[in-house]
Amino acid sequence: MTIKYIDELTIAEKRLFIRVDFNVSFDELGNISDDTRIRAALPTIRYALGQKAKVILASHLGRPKGKPNPKYSMKPVGERLAQLLEDVDVLLPEDCVGDAVKKLAGELLPGQVMLLENLRFHPEEEANDEGFSRQLAALAEVYVDDAFGAAHRAHASTSGMVQFVPVKGAGFLMRAEIQSLSKLLEKPARPFVAILGGAKVSDKLGVIENLMNICDCLLIGGGMSYTFLSAKGVQIGKSLVEEDKIHTARRILERAEARNISIMLPLDHVVAAACDASAKALTTDGVSIPDGMMGLDIGPKTVAEYSTQVLKAKTIFWNGPMGVFELAPFANGTNKIAIAVAESNSSSVVGGGDSIAAINKAGVASRIGHISTGGGASLEFIEGKKLPGIVALEQ
**Residues involved in catalysis:** 37, 200, 353, 376
SS3 192: strand
What whole-number distance in Å separates Cα of residue 120 and Cα of residue 191?
43
SS3 125: helix
Q: Which residues contact 50 (CB under 8 A, 6 or more apart)?
A: none
- CB 324 within 8 Å of CB 221: no
What whole-number distance in Å separates Cα of residue 323 and Cα of residue 318?
14
Q: Which residues contact 107 (CB under 8 A, 6 or more apart)?
A: none
Q: What is the CA radius of gyration of the chain?
A: 23
- Amino acid identity at 147: A
SS3 113: strand
- Burial call 67-79: b when 16+ CB within 10 Å, e when fewer: eeeeebbbeebbe
What whole-number distance in Å separates Cα of residue 105 and Cα of residue 218?
49
- CB 128 within 8 Å of CB 1: no
Residue 174, sorted as left (phi over 0), alpha (psi -120 to 50) or beta, turns out to be alpha
DSSP letter assigned to residue 61? -
- CB 168 within 8 Å of CB 136: no
Neighbours of 306 (CB within 10 A): 25
What whole-number distance in Å separates Cα of residue 195 and Cα of residue 207?
11
